[in-house]
Amino acid sequence: MPALVVARFLVDRPIRPGMVRAILDTLTAQGGAYVPQLVRGSQDDSLRRLTGGRSPQLLDEVAEGGTHTTFMRVSESLPQPVLSFSVSETPRRHPTRVTLTIPGDALREGEEIDRMLGVCKGLYLFLESVWGVAGYPDAPDNTPLVQWANFLGPELVSRTGPARLLTSMAFMVEILPDGGVMLVTHPSPDLSAGPEGTAFRIDLARTLGFDGSVAGGQDPFRPDTAAARPAAPHLRVPRSD
């Protein structure tokens, strides 16, 4: 299985069945790496292939609090994860996590990278996410809070300071329609994941105030740190000094 680029979003509001349906339809409409033959993996590890119309009951189950569902793409008889929902019963206290995965070898060209960023940006806006990141997963003992692509909600932008973000050394900084910011550190996820790219992301995290003294050195997207996180959108990242 090729290395996967993973996009993760924190959502502090309920996930509804209509939202799940719209996201799946959008991914299918994107073409290329985003056209999956979908199967659904449930909590009991069973797989259910999705063909044609989707069962309303299935989407109701996905949107129920306390459930985890992964939709997978079948490639060469091997299921690959595409979209996962870890739906929280109390999203304001413990945000829901939505994860999108794309094979890294599908992101070698600028056009595909732009499309990936467009999909992530659309997902961030549609979910009204408080925070999102995308890139190759880092080693557990070296997890910069700044990833290849970063989607900062309006409150995090306000607390960081828009000028600090806009004048950073990141490859791309774009103000989004909701007042949030998309910050991309490198032209490609491959460059971001190398030793120099990782060092740059660590330094950028410190410059923006996303350092361990504020965030406790923990990745807020890891399930084992969720209990230590305050309610979204009041994440204890970044500083404004």
Query: Is residue 190 situated within a structural domain?
Result: yes
Between 110-127 and 17-30, two packed helices, what is the crossing angle to 10 degrees?
170
Q: Which two tokens stand for residue 232?
A: 């979204």
The strand pair at 172-175 and 47-49 is best described as: unpaired
Domain tally for the chain? 1
Query: Is residue 240 situated within a structural domain?
Result: no
* Integer angstrom CA distances of residue 233 from 11, 107, 206, 212: 9, 31, 21, 19
Could you list the residue range(s) of the whole structural domain that residue 161 is in? 4-228
pTM here is 0.81
Query: Is residue 82 situated within a structural domain?
Result: yes
Tens of pLDDT along 113-167?
Answer: 998 899 899 999 999 999 999 999 887 666 678 999 999 999 999 988 999 999 9
Query: Is residue 53 situated within a structural domain?
Result: yes
Query: Is residue 23 situated within a structural domain?
Result: yes
Is residue 4 within 8 Å of residue 105, measured between CB atoms? no
Tens of pLDDT along 41-59?
Answer: 555 555 555 555 566 677 7
Other C-beta atoms closer than 10 Å to the C-beta of 232 total 24
**DSSP summary character for residue 227:** G
To the nearest whole number, what is the mean pLDDT of the chain? 78
For residue 91, whether the previous peptide bond is cis, meaning omega lies within 30 degrees of 0, is: no
Query: Is residue 238 situated within a structural domain?
Result: no
